[in-house]
Amino acid sequence: MRVETHIERFTQPLYLESGRILEPYELIYETYGQLNEDKSNVIVVCHALTGSHHAAGRYEGERKAGWWDSVIGDGKAIDTRQFFVICVNVIGSCFGSTGPMSPKYPSGKAYRLQFPVITVSDMVKAQINLFDRLGIHHAHAVIGGSMGGMQALCFAIEHPRFSKRHIMLASTYATQPWAIAFNKVAREAIIKDPAFNEGEYDPKVIKEEGFNGLSIGRMSGHISYLSPTSMEDKFGKVYDEKDGLYDLFGKYQVEKYLDYNSRNFVTWFDPLSYLYITKAINIFDARRNYDSLEDSLSRIVSKITLISFKADMLFLPHEMKYIEETMHKIGKADLTEYTEIDSDYGHDAFLVEIPKFEKIIIDALEQ
Amino acid sequence: MRVETHIERFTQPLYLESGRILEPYELIYETYGQLNEDKSNVIVVCHALTGSHHAAGRYEGERKAGWWDSVIGDGKAIDTRQFFVICVNVIGSCFGSTGPMSPKYPSGKAYRLQFPVITVSDMVKAQINLFDRLGIHHAHAVIGGSMGGMQALCFAIEHPRFSKRHIMLASTYATQPWAIAFNKVAREAIIKDPAFNEGEYDPKVIKEEGFNGLSIGRMSGHISYLSPTSMEDKFGKVYDEKDGLYDLFGKYQVEKYLDYNSRNFVTWFDPLSYLYITKAINIFDARRNYDSLEDSLSRIVSKITLISFKADMLFLPHEMKYIEETMHKIGKADLTEYTEIDSDYGHDAFLVEIPKFEKIIIDALEQ
């Protein structure tokens, strides 16, 4: 599989949903496979909150492959012998696309809290600009899980003729209070940590010394990505061997896991990006700027495949089901396919339970 | 209804499960109704994590009545014209019973992190000592929700002849990783807040100036007490009118609710008590010190009524169901009654959806 990473710089303004302007901006993206002559084999993969453009393959010396490496590759569900896959790091993120720690023109100083609030629509708009520049005006499919699914839905509604198919996994039509509440814990933990310093933290210092607020926020996220059953399966009620049961700070395996996975988070993710992207997720609502979900979905003219997971505790299956129901209601049943995957894993099932849904992706891409 | 509040001081040692000793200790408790002559009308009510001995009635000038006022009172499900109800503040708490901020003998300085880890068994043991002193050797029933339910189960297993009936609501036989994870977020937020100062905080100062860590912890708790549906019903996707949608720190109603309910938490609950009581909850396991749940439940000789709530996201219905199944397995089906209440409210249903389960309590008390 051929993997390439590129950065594109845009000097024309990006008009944001908020009325503000992002200018200039850069987008980092990765491609897998080869673009065919008539540019008809493009699949756009959209990433989630802490994901990046590095969706597949493994860089030299890298411990883990890209976040959807089990799905994208030669002979995999998204077969890179056939398709040319593009994954773009969203604006607001911290892996190379313009975000709050990027230099603001003309001062060259980081935006920090001056960075404009961005929305899922803005993330998609920026991607469309990139595809335009690459001469890609149509895609075979747009696909994504979680916030990536929101982007896929946004492509379908706001750029209805861009892609022939849209596949959403573990996502929603509008972020509900339950998910906003998990984000709230994380956002408060970040903002209230003295190390945040009203956004004026030194990125190098927090990477070295840690940032408790971001770690605690990550823990809150982790709960919502798993499920009671997946935690029982993963950790049981096993206490750390080295800790005393009656030691106030002794730990269960689940606590050690949360510690371990949250402590290092600051070494690869930026607190301000976390605030800006969770904001975009919180205010995501496919009904905004339309009269209703019926109204917004009525713009869809291509196939939409919805995949939910039974034990998803972040975006519940009924939220995806509601998209299907609404599509039926507005006479677009023929464009809609909904499947609830029987999985106990929780939200992260879209990242790990590939064998349970890859056939749906393969079929959707063929139809 | 006659309400009395008392404090009892014990100078004999309380031998804790950890092997440590609590000596001396005090217990504050409240009673409702009147003890009959043969002391046969006692109902012990056990409180949850942030609950107190003030289960019913309203003190002069008090805004809200006791936490189970809808259940306990003249003519209510636990009818105080018939029963004498006692609710004891657990050791480790901060409403008057001995806890981490109580003076340590002989220095008179607060225990703080020197306070011993206590367990649900210890909480129950202390209560038994109190009842002994009051000349109450038998109860008509022991009843409690959440951590109160753990106490009820503990009474049934470890003091099997004390009470004729045990009623557990929204609880479990052993705290599972999912619940431990929610507590973990809260515990980390408390411990890592510089205001915690390794337990050496000034209680007056944090009450006045706030304690972000405890507030963030409370938010994590609140999520687990509600459910996706109850949050949708309560808050919808309503944005605060005064905030701009594209303001990074603008808030949804659910965020305002979490802010409001967590900010004041420090004015009425102590951070160290939160650490000690969540520790007791985390390590609660009715199998500990027994070969298995079959083994521990085989000690039960009286009726046990189990009430779970469909959308309880903290202690899931199947955890309570498992107690019923195990009771059946060991030939104690006749002692066991299990009901799953059809409620979308979440864990807090045991505090608010009284009409949905009060009949079960009334019947259980009559049988």
Instruction: Identify the band that residue B107 occupies on the pLDDT scale cut at 50, 70 and 90.
Output: very high
Instruction: Identify the band that residue B273 occupies on the pLDDT scale cut at 50, 70 and 90.
Output: very high
B347 is catalytic: yes
Residue-averaged pLDDT of chain B = 97
Q: How far apart are CA B13 and CA A101, in angstroms?
A: 59
Q: Is A87 in contact with A54 (CB distance < 8 Å)?
A: yes
Q: Is A42 in contact with A84 (CB distance < 8 Å)?
A: yes
Whether the per-residue pLDDT at A235 is higher than 90: the answer is yes
The one-letter code for the residue type at A345 is: Y
For residue A185, what are its two tokens? Answer: 């814990």
Q: How far apart are CA B253 and CA A218, in angstroms?
A: 23
Over range B280-291, report the average pLDDT: 97
Whether the per-residue pLDDT at A241 is higher than 90: the answer is no
What dihedral angle (degrees, nearest 10) is formed by the CA atoms of A191, B278, B352, B61?
Answer: -80
Burial of A165 (0-12, 13-18, 19+ CB in 10 A): buried
Whether the per-residue pLDDT at B137 is higher than 90: the answer is yes
Model pLDDT for residues A174-213, shown as the tens digit of each residue: 999 999 999 999 999 999 999 999 999 999 999 999 999 9
Q: Does A245 touch chain B (CB under 8 A)?
A: yes
Question: Which of A174, A228, A253 comes nearest B176 by C-beta?
Answer: A228
Structure confidence at residue A266 (pLDDT): 96
For chain B, what percent of residues have pLDDT higher than 90?
98
Model pLDDT for residues A282-330, shown as the tens digit of each residue: 999 999 999 999 999 999 999 999 999 999 999 999 999 999 999 999 9
In angstroms, the first-to-last Cα distance of chain B is 24
Domains and CATH numbers, chain A: 3-176+284-366 (3.40.50.1820), 179-280 (1.10.1740.110)
Q: Does A31 touch chain B (CB under 8 A)?
A: no
Model pLDDT for residues A49-63, shown as the tens digit of each residue: 999 999 999 999 999
Return the bridge partners of A111, or none: none
pTM value is 0.97
Q: Is B144 in contact with B88 (CB distance < 8 Å)?
A: no
Over range A1-24, report the average pLDDT: 97
Residue of chain B nearest A183, judged by CA positions: B255
* Best residue of B175, B184, B249 to probe chain A, by most A CBs closer than 10 Å: B184
Query: Chain B neighbours among A 320-349 (CB < 8 Å)?
Result: none
The one-letter code for the residue type at A252 is: Y
Q: Is B53 in contact with B47 (CB distance < 8 Å)?
A: yes
Over range B299-323, report the average pLDDT: 98
Q: Does A266 touch chain B (CB under 8 A)?
A: no
Model pLDDT for residues A243-275, shown as the tens digit of each residue: 899 999 999 999 999 999 999 999 999 999 999
Kindly determine whether residue B245 and residue A283, on different chains, have CB atoms separated by under 8 Å: yes
In sequence order, what are the residues at sequence separation of 6 or more whose Cβ sits closer than 8 angstroms to the Cβ of residue B320?
B168, B171, B172, B173, B306, B307, B308, B338, B340
Structure confidence at residue A290 (pLDDT): 97
One DSSP character per residue, B58-91 reads --TT-SS--TTTTTEETTSSEETTT-EEEEEPPT
Residue of chain B nearest A184, judged by CA positions: B255
Instruction: Identify the band that residue A108 occupies on the pLDDT scale cut at 50, 70 and 90.
Output: very high
For residue A194, cis peptide bond before it (omega within 30 degrees of 0): no
What dihedral angle (degrees, nearest 10) is formed by the CA atoms of B291, B292, B297, B298?
Answer: -50
Structure confidence at residue B19 (pLDDT): 97
Model pLDDT for residues A63-85, shown as the tens digit of each residue: 999 999 999 999 999 999 999 99
Contacts of B113 in chain A (CB under 8 A): 248
Whether the per-residue pLDDT at B235 is higher than 90: the answer is yes
Contacts of A228 in chain B (CB under 8 A): 176-178, 316
Q: Is A18 in contact with B246 (CB distance < 8 Å)?
A: yes
Residue of chain A nearest B263, judged by CA positions: A188
* Best residue of A121, A246, A321 to probe chain B, by most B CBs closer than 10 Å: A246
List % helix, strand, coil for chain B (3-state, nearest 5): 40, 20, 45
Structure confidence at residue B246 (pLDDT): 96
Structure confidence at residue B297 (pLDDT): 98
Structure confidence at residue B367 (pLDDT): 85
Distance from CA of A251 to the nearest CA of B (A): 9
Structure confidence at residue A367 (pLDDT): 85
Kindly determine whether residue A246 and residue B18, on different chains, have CB atoms separated by under 8 Å: yes
Residues of A carrying an active site annotation: 146, 312, 347
Instruction: Identify the band that residue B241 occupies on the pLDDT scale cut at 50, 70 and 90.
Output: confident
Q: Does B222 touch chain A (CB under 8 A)?
A: yes
For residue A333, what are its two tokens? Answer: 């049943």
